[in-house]
Chains A and B, each alone.
Chain A
Amino acid sequence: MQEAKKLCSLIGRNTKTYFKDKFLFFTSMLTPLILLILFFTFLRNIYIDSFTAAFPEGFSVDSKIINGMAGAWILSSVLSVSSVTVAFCANMVMVDDKIHSSINDFKVAPVKSTTISISYLISNIFVVTLVIISVLVLGCIYLAAVGWYISVSDFFMILLGCLCNILFGSLLATIVLSFVSTQGMQSAVASLITALYGFISGAYMPISSFSKGLANFLGLLPGTYGTSLLRNHCMNGYLNELANVGLPSEAIKGIRDGFDANIYFFDNSVPLPVMYGIIVGTCAALLIIYILIVILKNKNISFKFLDKIKDKFSKKSICEKD
């Protein structure tokens, strides 16, 4: 009971530390912001052009459907990318604690080290959820303005998809960053994730527009399926509406393929339940890895091989300085 109260207090502290750190907050909003700016400057028109390119000659629809669908697609991008990038940035609180030895101030207190570790994961999930909810609310307002065709059931599926992505992002970030304890590694990881993740998750341009080899490689990453299931739920209402107004199913399949609602793993189409299976399974695996890490750390069994890698790293950087 006492330990639970201590846990809550630590979660509060981690969360507050993150939101009070303006720079950290801004950094974690960078990827979604860039995505939105690109969308409103030119990506929107590119998407709309490629939707209409799939239409048969002479076919025309209410522009609300098309505009809404472009918005829904970018919304799914922002949601899935933010789940990961915000998770990584928000968990920099944990890395900062190690770099500035703040963690020592918790270690001298009568609180279990497991409690400290868990507090970082939970506060991370909490922060990412807050950000995702804000993005979702803003996105819905935008879609309501340009054209809303999302059914209630699809909306709940979007929420479920977000939950999967949040858990995936937070667990991944917490595990990776639990091995990061220097400023150099911290900025390397942060810039790598913010620069690269939007691209490899197909947030800017759909994976289907990448080369075959790259697309196949990205099919190996579980995050791809987390993104794709959000795309499915976000676009579903719009595609149904297009079918209702008489767009042939071939054209609809073309749009689904082109915009990653259908994902092909080495030419095999991956059905929606399998996507859920992959992302949930990955989360479960990550959770087990995380628990193992926490237990091992608590028992003070050090990761010898990682220490060796760190040694090499630091020796290298010392040599470079000389």
Chain B
Amino acid sequence: MIVKIENLHKSFKDVKAVDGISFCVKEGELFAFLGVNGAGKSTTINIISGILQKDGGKALICGEDLDKNIDKIKSNIGIVFQNSVLDKKLSGYDNLKYRAALYGIFGADFKAKLKEMTELLDLKDILKRPINKLSGGQKRRLDIARALIHNPKLLILDEPTTGLDPKTRITVWSVIDKLRSEQGLTVFLTTHYMEEASDSDYVVILDSGKIATEGTPHELKNKYANDYIKFYNKKDEAEEFFVGLGKHIRKERDFILVKLDSTNEVPKYIAQKPEIFDDFEVLKGNMDDVFLNVTGKYLKEV
């Protein structure tokens, strides 16, 4: 158990940003924290990393109590903030050098670590340039290098891929996967991307500072996601047929969506009414669905 949070509380004036949450992160796990804007994800992370003081509750991180041994915890966690906090006017090299020093890494140790990071994250061409001259993806790579500069056991990523193009997202993820498989790094992630949540080992969904639900993606999908059939043609006939069966349907401009209890029902319907199955699609429930059903909110504004 690398992170153990019990009954954590934090309020800003009358906003209860974190309202009594408890969860655990296992060693080596990819842990995903989901929630709409303002759910309290960043606040939780800021408490764990020692930026904010909690109002109440207990936190054990890497075996240390947050109230007692904060410096030990700090050298065990690396964090990539939601918004890059590197010094814009300084070069990537300077940024990493000054940050490494804060962990007691100087001189030859730093050189070695820098070389490792340069290879891992392909930093060679960007180290000499000032941060404000870099692209979003290049900045993110430096953010990750900064977070990993002191060999942390736990890597916390606050929306690491928001605003990145698909190619850079893949790069970021390949680095994270590599670190996980090679060094057994534990990754604590907040994200708005459902694909990322689906790939994780454990998911906690946060809503207004409280845990709405938690489990593995598989468990959550089974519990909260529905399967659908989508009809692009013969919409009226399909509607009539399924309404007759007491199914929920949703009408869209191009298609209608029929909510199923399970995809196992589909062959039965095809046998019963083959003529309506002209241009259709069977959809397995996904994390988007889970999220919508749990919180009643869409995660991404469409």
Choice from B51, B53, B101 contacting A108 with Cβ under 8 Å: B51
Choice from A2, A20, A102, A107 contacting B130 with Cβ under 8 Å: A20
Q: Chain A residues with Cβ under 8 A from B90's Cβ?
A: 13, 16-17, 20
Instruction: Kindly provide the distance from the CB of A18 to the nearest chain B CB, expressed in whole angstroms.
Output: 9
Q: Chain B residues with Cβ under 8 A from A109's Cβ?
A: 74, 99, 102-103
Q: Chain A residues with Cβ under 8 A from B75's Cβ?
A: 110
Known contacts A16-B94, A107-B50, A108-B50; A100 and B101 CB within 8 A of each other: no
Instruction: Select the residue from B49, B51, B146 with max chain A CB neighbours within 10 A.
Output: B51
Interface size counted on chain B using CB atoms at 8 A: 29
Determine the residue in chain B with the shortest Cβ distance to A115: B102
Q: Are B102 and A111 in contact (CB under 8 A)?
A: yes
Choice from A21, A101, A106, A108 contacting B77 with Cβ under 8 Å: A108
Choice from A16, A21, A104, A110 contacting B71 with Cβ under 8 Å: A110
Q: Chain A residues with Cβ under 8 A from B97's Cβ?
A: 9
Instruction: Select the residue from A17, A106, A110, A111 with max chain B CB neighbours within 10 A.
Output: A110
Q: Are B130 and A6 in contact (CB under 8 A)?
A: no
Q: Chain A residues with Cβ under 8 A from B53's Cβ?
A: 300
Q: Are B49 and A108 in contact (CB under 8 A)?
A: yes
- At the interface with chain A, which of B79-87, B185-193, B201-209? B79-87
Report the Cα distance A10→B103, complex, angstroms.
12
Instruction: Kindly provide the distance from the CB of B5 to the nearest chain A CB, expressed in whole angstroms.
Output: 17
B247 contacts chain A at the CB level, 8 A cutoff: no
Q: Chain A residues with Cβ under 8 A from B83's Cβ?
A: 101
Report the Cα distance A107→B81, complex, angstroms.
12
Instruction: Kindly provide the distance from the CB of B53 to the nearest chain A CB, expressed in whole angstroms.
Output: 6
Contact mask B241-266 → A, CB, 8 Å, 1/0?
Answer: 00000000000000000000000000
Determine the residue in chain A with the shortest Cβ distance to B95: A13
B106 contacts chain A at the CB level, 8 A cutoff: yes
Q: Are A20 and B89 in contact (CB under 8 A)?
A: yes
Q: Chain A residues with Cβ under 8 A from B213's Cβ?
A: none
Instruction: Kindly provide the distance from the CB of A99 to the nearest chain B CB, expressed in whole angstroms.
Output: 11
A5 contacts chain B at the CB level, 8 A cutoff: yes
Q: Are A110 and B51 in contact (CB under 8 A)?
A: no
Q: Are A13 and B94 in contact (CB under 8 A)?
A: yes
Known contacts A10-B98, A13-B98; A107 and B87 CB within 8 A of each other: no
Q: Are A102 and B103 in contact (CB under 8 A)?
A: no
Instruction: Kindly provide the distance from the CB of A21 to the nearest chain B CB, expressed in whole angstroms.
Output: 5
Q: Are B94 and A6 in contact (CB under 8 A)?
A: no
Q: Chain B residues with Cβ under 8 A from A246's Cβ?
A: none
Determine the residue in chain B with the shortest Cβ distance to A1: B104
Q: Chain A residues with Cβ under 8 A from B85's Cβ?
A: 100-102, 104-105
Q: Are A13 and B106 in contact (CB under 8 A)?
A: no
Q: Are A106 and B102 in contact (CB under 8 A)?
A: yes
A12 contacts chain B at the CB level, 8 A cutoff: yes
Instruction: Kindly provide the distance from the CB of A243 to the nearest chain B CB, expressed in whole angstroms.
Output: 52
Q: Chain B residues with Cβ under 8 A from A106's Cβ?
A: 102
Q: Chain B residues with Cβ under 8 A from A17's Cβ?
A: 87, 89-90
Q: 3 tightest A-B contacts by CB?
A: A9-B101, A109-B102, A20-B89
4 more contacts with CB within 8 A, not counting A104-B85, A105-B99, A107-B51, are A6-B101, A20-B90, A105-B81, A111-B102
| B interface, CB within 8 angstroms of A | 46, 49-51, 53, 71-72, 74-75, 77, 79, 81, 83, 85-87, 89-90, 94, 97-99, 101-104, 106, 130, 146
